[in-house]
């Protein structure tokens, strides 16, 4: 944990194995650290910087979103193709929702007003779920290598950023309808994304990918690219 005023480390808290996504839940002032290989979520009380509980999960967790009014945290379970629902008070998993036809879910965003979850899936689709029932009510095609999702409450636009160098922008036109409004060309590797709701700008980042060396990957093998040192940059997109 870091003090933003001084940029100094305040303390360190032990999590489970291979922590990935982190979520701050404002209602209870708790941080959820989702542990990939640990198949769990570590809940930390930010008032005393102590671990409250470790929540066991059915598989490898990815991104998550909080429903403050509903008292729930939603979490993608990537290797099970489902969403886990965690009760904020009891810290227990109360439901798991299948994402079919979505597979390998990663990014997640939440429309609290209309009770809709947006989930980016590795088989090149973004699913919209009813967060009350867990039912997939709509889906749109997206690019390859999705990582993050975002939702702009003011514009009702959902975003899915993909490693193939695209961001799919879809509008929530109705409770059961998503419509693509733009496929934005970014740069290869620009998968991570953040949205500024005040300016409606989206931010992503990447670096120059180095030429491949050595033997070609085997069929089905996933290999992370190497990047050219010193070429990291942030990409900013907004409306005119």
Average pLDDT for the chain: 96
Q: Give 193's pLDDT tier (boundaries 50, 70, 90).
A: very high
Strands (E), 122-217: 125-130, 136-141, 146-152, 157-162, 166-174, 177-185, 193-196, 201-206
Grade residue 122 by pLDDT with cuts at 50, 70 and 90.
very high
Which contacts qualify for 138-142: CB closer than 8 Å, 24 or more apart?
138/176, 138/177, 138/178, 139/101, 139/102, 139/178, 140/168, 140/170, 140/178, 140/179, 140/180, 141/168, 141/180, 142/166, 142/168
The model's pLDDT over 72-106, given as tens digits with 9 standing for 90+, comes to 999 999 999 999 999 999 999 999 999 999 999 99
C-alpha–C-alpha distance, residues 111 and 101, integer Å: 21
Which superfamily, per CATH, for 2-196?
A: YVTN repeat-like/Quinoprotein amine dehydrogenase (2.130.10.10)
For 120, phi and psi rounded to 5 degrees? -85, 130
- pLDDT computed for residue 217 by the predictor: 75
CA 11 centroid distance within chain? 26
Whether the pLDDT of residue 240 is over 80: the answer is: no
pLDDT surpasses 90 at 207? yes
Q: Which run of H or E residues covers position 235?
A: strand 233-237
């Amino acid at each position: 944990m870091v003090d933003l005023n001084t940029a100094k480390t305040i303390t360190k808290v032990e999590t489970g194995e291979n922590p990935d996504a982190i979520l701050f839940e404002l209602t209870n002032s708790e941080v959820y650290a989702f542990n990939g290989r640990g198949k769990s979520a570590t809940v930390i009380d930010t008032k005393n910087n102590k671990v409250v509980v470790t929540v066991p999960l059915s598989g490898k967790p990815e991104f998550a979103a909080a429903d403050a009014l509903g008292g729930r945290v939603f979490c993608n379970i990537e290797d099970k193709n489902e969403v886990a629902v965690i009760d904020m008070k009891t810290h227990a998993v109360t439901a798991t929702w299948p994402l079919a036809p979505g597979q390998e879910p990663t990014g997640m965003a939440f429309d609290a007003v209309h009770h809709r979850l947006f989930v980016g899936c590795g088989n090149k689709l973004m699913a919209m779920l009813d967060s009350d029932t867990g039912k997939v009510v709509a889906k749109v095609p997206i690019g390859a290598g999705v990582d993050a999702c975002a939702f702009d409450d003011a514009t009702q636009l959902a975003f899915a950023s993909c490693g193939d160098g695209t961001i799919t922008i879809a509008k929530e036109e109705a409770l059961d309808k998503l419509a693509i409004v733009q496929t934005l060309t970014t740069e290869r590797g620009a998968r991570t994304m953040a949205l500024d709701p005040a300016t409606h700008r989206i931010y992503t980042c990447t670096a120059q990918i180095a030429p491949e060396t050595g033997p070609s990957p085997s069929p089905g093998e996933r290999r992370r690219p190497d990047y050219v040192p010193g070429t990291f940059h942030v990409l900013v997109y907004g409306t005119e």
